[in-house]
Structure 1
Amino acid sequence: MTSTAQDSSSSRKKSGRSPLGSTSLAVVAELAGVSEATVSRVLNRKYGVSAATRATVEDALRQVGYERPKNRELVVLLTPNLRNPIFAHQAERIEGELTPHGLKAVICPVYPGSVQEREYVESLIDSGVAAIVFLSSSNTMVHADHRVVQLVASRGLPFVSINGGFDEHPAPVVSSDDWKAADLAVGHLYDLGHRRIGLLAGPVGNIPADRRVEGFVQAMERRGLPAPEDYVVRQHFNFEGGNQAASLLLRMGATGIIGSSDEMALGAYRAVERAGLSVPGDVSVIGYDDSPFLDYTAPPLTTVRQPVELIAENVGWIISSMIQNRPVDSAEILVAPEIRLRGSTAPARDAG
């Protein structure tokens, strides 16, 4: 009898049919006020079910105590690139949090909001995908093509966003507190006597960049520093962007520079050197992320550390809960960053 039961279970998995028995399927359909075929489509994450109907069926499944079997074990991580060490580190930590739940991460480096992002999802969505993680991809861009999340939502796949979410599709979001990050950086430079403090900001419409600008302006105003918006320069999150933005801030007389990424901050090193100045003797520089190599830069870079481990822990817990059909709060979780002091900041020369 045991062998027969096992064979039957195996047959159900191979055929793709719901593990719910016909009686339970009927009970769920009655609770939700839909047909058994609709319940089956929701269970198997098929097209053709509205978001409202899908939510009603999922609620009925929770009422009968149903938990999805883990025959789907792939979690797709969509991330901008792996050249930036912070994204590689974050993907690795998330993978480590998923493994104990029997889940496997598939890391897809994409340009956010691009056709490539959609193609990754379209090609993998029917290959045992249990959930999607938007790791600083199209979820961080206000004006990006959001058709990829529309596809994910239409199939009823659980998804989590990191560092910004989709307003049109409420779902759990876990983010580093960018307002707090800006305040930590401004506060450190202010305490060292710097009053002309500038921000190397990311592009307009990038959610983390916009939040850091907002936090920077608020932090400067709280300390009574005039016209903080004049000391915000928008550029790309890379070395050259930091170099160009820092050159402008130096011409404005900035003695403290805050980068919105470690790469931007290291680009500021180049601008300071080309101006015939030194870090930190003439100009103090702070980065953001805490990339693994910062102890080996000259001088070692002070930075605001993104809480990668805590973000990964939250994402792992949320993903495993959603896959098991357990309700989770869609309110954004803000994880507090911390400042790591190294050798790139010093008291301002004119502090006295």
Structure 2
Amino acid sequence: MPRTADAAGSAKPRQRALSGGVGLAEVAAHAGVSEATVSRVINRKYGVSVSTREAVERSMRSLGFAREVRGELVLLLVPDLVNPIFAQLCNAIESELSPHGLRTVLCPVHPGTVQERDYVASLADTGIAGVVFLSSMNTLRNTDPGAREMLESRGIPYVSVNGGFSDAAAPAFSSDDWRAAELAVLHLFDLGHRRIGMCAGPVGNTPADRRVEGFVQVMDRLGLPDPEDFVVRHHYNVEGGRYAAEELIPAGVTAIVAGSDEMALGAVRAIQRRGLSVPGDISVIGYDDSPLLDFTNPPLTTVRQPVDRLAEHTARGIVALIGDRDVPTDEEYLEPELRLRASTGPVRSRGRA
């Protein structure tokens, strides 16, 4: 900050002019605090009590001060925007944060790579208010902790979506993946299916591992033998679902639970290429509830991620952290929802596998 000399020749900070010509000293005097405290509130820094922050913000409103946008950016570290579910989550989080004067910056990354650290390093000095790990490095085991450690060293708050950091005291909000698998299997079981397979995401991916656990647990509970033998792990895309289904079909499955809608559509393609029908020969159920599923052939039954509630909880958590308020650090699980369409139906014997 530039410095000037007073009448006695000593140096003192020049008052920073706020909007409308209001200076730090005026806000500080009105709120009964120091100029340094006002500066910390303006820049959303730690070390200010809730009551003091509220007093300063009341003075700002009373004096007609509109907070500058610098320091009000929230980074969304997201795997990609090709998958519609991530685009939905980003839009929903942005809508929740906007009324609080916070703006989002989308940072597409390959989870677990240096991209996440590079985004944080390059943007930290521009005034980041917070960061959301949106199904990025927080979903993987044994990843480079550089991005998270950089945030912690700078006192920048962060939250995680769909998987938390086991060694960090930070909020996490996740769809209940165990429950999602349970909903899918119970629906198929009620339709008479007993040979149920699963196209799951890759090993080491937290949501995928949790869904596999949920699948195996409910299959065991229903008395269905050797559920682990009917789980095939592959990539979260159409090709991954197709390859996984091509392993499950010869095993005589009458239904497939997929780890994502894209995997489910890949499974449908594999089934139809063998001259079989969905759901006549094999039922298929996805996960996410991406847009346009009503228009696939057939329309896809899926387990819906609670996108709106995930966004609401995420925004509430990051806003509270930015405001120096306490937020529970235990991972919170939100209930998914079964969405019935035309890709699942009653079991019937298959004469050709």
TM range (shorter): 0.7 to 0.9
Tell me how far apart the structure 2 counterparts of residues 20 and 210 of structure 1 sit (CA, whole Å).
51
Give the structure 2 partner of residue 344 of structure 1.
343
Say whether the 8 Å CA contact 1:257–1:285 is kept in structure 2: yes
Equivalenced residues, count: 316
Give the structure 2 partner of residue 118 of structure 1.
117
Give the structure 2 partner of residue 229 of structure 1.
228
Letter aligned with residue 335 of structure 1: L
Q: CA deviation at 1:215?
A: 0.4
Say whether the 8 Å CA contact 1:165–1:173 is kept in structure 2: yes
Q: CA deviation at 1:62?
A: 2.6
Letter aligned with residue 130 of structure 2: A
Identity %: 55
Give the structure 2 partner of residue 90 of structure 1.
89
Written as runs of structure 1 = structure 2, the 5 A alignment for 1:1-352 is 6-9=21-24, 21=34, 58=47, 61-62=48-49, 65-66=52-53, 71=68, 72-350=71-349
Give the structure-2-normalised TM-score: 0.84
Tell me how far apart the structure 1 counterparts of residues 296 and 248 of structure 2 sit (CA, whole Å).
22
Moved over 4 A (4+): 3-6, 22-25, 67-71
Tell me how far apart the structure 2 counterparts of residues 136 and 264 of structure 1 sit (CA, whole Å).
17
Tell me how far apart the structure 1 counterparts of residues 235 and 224 of structure 2 sit (CA, whole Å).
26
**Root mean square deviation, CA, Å:** 2.6
Q: Give the SS at the match of 1:175.
A: strand
Letter aligned with residue 118 of structure 1: R
Say whether the 8 Å CA contact 1:153–1:169 is kept in structure 2: no
Tell me how far apart the structure 2 counterparts of residues 272 and 10 of structure 1 sit (CA, whole Å).
72
Note the residue ranges of structure 1 that are not aligned, 5 or more in a row: 13-18, 26-38, 46-56
- Larger Cα Rg: Structure 1 or Structure 2? 2
Letter aligned with residue 65 of structure 1: T
CA, structure 1 residues 339+63, in 2 after alignment: closer, same or farther (shift >3 Å)?
closer
Q: Give the SS at the match of 1:199.
A: strand
Letter aligned with residue 346 of structure 1: G
Alignment deviations for residues 247-293 of structure 1 (CA, whole Å, 9 cap, x no partner): 10101111100110000000001110122211000000000000001
CA, structure 1 residues 139+6, in 2 after alignment: closer, same or farther (shift >3 Å)?
same
Letter aligned with residue 200 of structure 1: C
Tell me how far apart the structure 2 counterparts of residues 24 and 123 of structure 1 sit (CA, whole Å).
27
Tell me how far apart the structure 2 counterparts of residues 87 and 23 of structure 1 sit (CA, whole Å).
40
CA, structure 1 residues 10+279, in 2 after alignment: closer, same or farther (shift >3 Å)?
farther
Tell me how far apart the structure 1 counterparts of residues 252 and 312 of structure 2 sit (CA, whole Å).
42
